[in-house]
Structure 1
Amino acid sequence: MTQTVVITGASAGIGRAVAQAYAERGDRLVLMARGRAGLDGAAQDCRERGAADVRTYQLDVADHEAVRAAAADAAAAFDGLDVWINDAFVSVFAPAWEVSPEEYRRVMEVNYLGTVHGTLAALEHMRAAGRGAIVQVGSALAYRGIPLQAAYCATKHAIQGFNDSLRAELLHDCPGVTLSMVQMPAVNTPQFSWVRTRLPRHPQPVPPIYQPEVAATAVLWAADYGKREVNVASATWKTRLGNIVAPGLLDRLLSTTKQGYDAQQTADPVDPAQWHDNVDKPRDDDRDFGAHGVFDDTSKPYSVTLWATMHRPALAAAATGLGLAAAAAVGIARRR
């Protein structure tokens, strides 16, 4: 069945990869982002991959009225909305005391309030229809903050809390609408070339790094099956487990130069005069960056953990079958 899918932050990175994946299914796509060149590139990608239809809306998700108007326009054009993916975000890499109040506010407006705005716009149509799927693109950092990313980590924690409250409300009032959060590991997206940074060297995702198509696979699976939460890679699980078992030890590990600071930077120095970020205005307004960042050579194209999660019933059945076969073999041997 052809679906109408809305994706914010669709011009690059994970959002772009998600749009491409839905296009290959032949779905109708509603793409939202700030950058004109990135949006146009994403739309062209999706049409070439077989999307049934593509509509683009150049907007800032921090503007609730713009998001709401675009949602209403798309819903009218496509007779409703089936899936909504919230992915848009910005970030500032710096010690917490070097981030200004205005920067904290901006990151919160885009990441957290942008997610709220998208979710409310989706619910306006999905609750009326009694069905739909909303997926928040989250992070392992929704559970565990790390140094140099206080503003970003705070927003992911906020989204997690918002989701917990909303999920219970939907189960009570509108169980036909599912709400998922996909907790990402480090992903090779263009964000690391356009975040606002005060670090001495080029920002990078903390290894191991995964390609955005891995993230997209998890997002589509979560939307298809209404999964409450999906942890995409073993690094996500390890981060969450470590924060439960030994949060104090994790504090100290992350405070070390090697674990908490060097792991978030390459060896390449940053020239502040040449570095341009996307916090206040898009970097992809006149240039299309695509889905991938600059770490293709060191990024994994698959996640064994995600594969196992997606095939858990089959793996459980196989394990049960092997157990029964082993028990039968033991029984036969004893009778002999």
Structure 2
Amino acid sequence: MSKVAVITGAGAGVGRAAVEEFARHGYDVALLSRDQGRLDRAVTDLQATYGVRALGIPTDVANSDALEAAASRIEQELGPIDVWVNVAMATVFAPVSELTAREFERGTQVTYLGQVHGTMAALARMRARNRGTIVNVGSALGYRSVPLQSIYCGAKFAVRGFTDALRSEIIHDGLNVHLTMVDLPALNTPQFDWALNKMGKKAQPVAPIYEPEVAARAIFFAATHRRRQVWVGFSTVKAILANRIAPTWIDRYLAKAGYDGQLTDEPLEPDARGNLFDPVPGDYGAHGRFDKQARPRSWEMLTSRHRNVFWAVVGVGAVSGIGLLIRRKGKM
């Protein structure tokens, strides 16, 4: 019997790439997103390409009842959920002074509470069977915030706190449920075309940019290996560690560079639509408009996948170096 994976935010971007990755490995997949048309096209493509069962359910992750209903339908039609991946997110490009309380509320409901709701729906079923895996998707911006994305950054910080708290509870209860988190770098996804933007210029990811398939492979790896956490991209590692060492310096650096780094010189169309409250129609896929700049693989992800071999090589190198040093000293 095939395993079943559920991916939220599956209509485009990282979620769409993650669905492809799980289907490629033979999983039956459930796709949760708001846009029915994109879900229908994705389901047709997945069934034709990989021969798996695919179920698309239009769902707003901010609605806990909708996620609970989706989980019940998935188990009725596809079977027990083995893996649940929380990808859905929303962001707004604007300084805090130009944001409304309703925009903060909605962005937090999608990006933070969407992961809480998904985790709760999955865990209720996995707890009863005492097996399963939940993958929460974080970001380098959940450790080091940037200007113009306070809603998203705050929500990703919250996801990290929620995940750590729940992990200890799972350990306390002795459950055989694996909870892991994948922290992502800048990615070439459609979010930079459809995120609500009040800056008058088109948004862009801050280099280095990675293709969404890099994130998808990391998510699948985290779901199938007992890793507490996976950092994707050396830029993510640098952001996390640098903020621990010199947060004040980074505050000042981002005050100067954080605005222009996230905006292009192209003017934003006056009628540009944002997807914060309603989905933006269109045939969007996993990729955004930055294919020429995006990297297809991550060195940091390679070392994470093969960490035992990596550290063995490092260890052998260190021992060899020490031995060479001792021999040289012995000749002196």
| Same fold (TM > 0.5) | yes
- When residues 331 and 106 of structure 1 are mapped into structure 2, their CA distance, relative to the original with a 3 A threshold, is closer
Farther-moved stretch of structure 1 (62-71 vs 318-327): 318-327
Q: 2 CA distance for matches of 1:321 and 1:307?
A: 19
Question: Is structure 2 residue 320 aligned with structure 1 residue 317?
Answer: no
Residue 45 of structure 1 and its aligned partner are, at CA, apart by 2.8
Determine the structure 2 residue equivalent to 1:268. 266
Determine the structure 2 residue equivalent to 1:49. 49
8 Å contact kept, 2:9–2:87: yes
8 Å contact kept, 2:93–2:148: yes
Q: 1 CA distance for matches of 2:31 and 2:148?
A: 31
Determine the structure 2 residue equivalent to 1:141. 141
Match of residue 305, structure 1, among 300, 304, 311: 300
Match of residue 278, structure 1, among 251, 275, 279: 275
8 Å contact kept, 2:36–2:57: no
CA-based RMSD: 1.9
Q: 2 CA distance for matches of 1:161 and 1:218?
A: 21
8 Å contact kept, 1:27–1:51: no
8 Å contact kept, 1:28–1:51: no
Aligned length: 330
Identity percentage over the alignment?
Answer: 41
Question: Is structure 2 residue 15 aligned with structure 1 residue 31?
Answer: no
Q: Give the residue type in structure 1 aligned to 2:57.
A: Y
Q: 1 CA distance for matches of 2:114 and 2:32?
A: 12
Determine the structure 2 residue equivalent to 1:8. 8
8 Å contact kept, 1:11–1:41: no
Determine the structure 1 residue equivalent to 2:79. 79
Determine the structure 2 residue equivalent to 1:96. 96
Residue 262 of structure 1 and its aligned partner are, at CA, apart by 0.7
8 Å contact kept, 1:253–1:260: yes
Q: 2 CA distance for matches of 1:253 and 1:90?
A: 25
8 Å contact kept, 2:127–2:175: no
Question: Is structure 2 residue 247 aligned with structure 1 residue 247?
Answer: yes
Farther-moved stretch of structure 1 (116-125 vs 167-176): 167-176
Q: TM-score, normalised by structure 2?
A: 0.94
Q: Give the residue type in structure 2 aligned to 1:298.
A: Q
8 Å contact kept, 1:29–1:51: no
Q: 1 CA distance for matches of 2:153 and 2:321?
A: 47
- When residues 313 and 93 of structure 1 are mapped into structure 2, their CA distance, relative to the original with a 3 A threshold, is same
Q: Give the residue type in structure 1 aligned to 2:158.
A: A
Q: 2 CA distance for matches of 1:331 and 1:145?
A: 46
Residue 190 of structure 1 and its aligned partner are, at CA, apart by 0.3
Residue 189 of structure 1 and its aligned partner are, at CA, apart by 0.3
Following TM superposition, where does structure 1 have runs of at least 4 consecutive aligned residues deviating by more than 3 angstroms? 319-335
Farther-moved stretch of structure 1 (202-211 vs 312-321): 312-321
Q: Give the residue type in structure 1 aligned to 2:59.
A: L
Q: 1 CA distance for matches of 2:111 and 2:223?
A: 20
8 Å contact kept, 1:208–1:235: yes
**SS of aligned partner of 2:202:** strand
Q: 2 CA distance for matches of 1:237 and 1:26?
A: 31
Q: TM-score, normalised by structure 1?
A: 0.93
Q: 2 CA distance for matches of 1:299 and 1:141?
A: 19
Q: Give the residue type in structure 1 aligned to 2:260.
A: D
Q: Give the residue type in structure 1 aligned to 2:287.
A: H
Residue 288 of structure 1 and its aligned partner are, at CA, apart by 1.9
Question: Is structure 2 residue 295 aligned with structure 1 residue 295?
Answer: no
Q: 2 CA distance for matches of 1:197 and 1:120?
A: 31
Residue 198 of structure 1 and its aligned partner are, at CA, apart by 0.6
Q: 2 CA distance for matches of 1:328 and 1:251?
A: 44
Residue 211 of structure 1 and its aligned partner are, at CA, apart by 0.2
**Structure 1 residues 242-291: Cα deviation after superposition (integer angstroms, max 9, x where no partner):** 111011001000000xx2011101121112x320111111114xx22000
- When residues 120 and 326 of structure 1 are mapped into structure 2, their CA distance, relative to the original with a 3 A threshold, is same
Q: 2 CA distance for matches of 1:143 and 1:51?
A: 39
8 Å contact kept, 2:209–2:294: yes
Determine the structure 1 residue equivalent to 2:153. 153
8 Å contact kept, 1:210–1:301: yes
8 Å contact kept, 1:22–1:51: no
Q: 2 CA distance for matches of 1:269 and 1:290?
A: 23
Residue 71 of structure 1 and its aligned partner are, at CA, apart by 0.3
**Structure 1 residues 145-180: Cα deviation after superposition (integer angstroms, max 9, x where no partner):** 110001111100111111111000011114311111
Question: Is structure 2 residue 185 aligned with structure 1 residue 185?
Answer: yes
In structure 1, the gaps of 5 or more residues are: none
**Structure 1 residues 173-214: Cα deviation after superposition (integer angstroms, max 9, x where no partner):** 143111111111000000000000011210011111000000
Residue 36 of structure 1 and its aligned partner are, at CA, apart by 1.4
Q: 2 CA distance for matches of 1:261 and 1:319?
A: 39
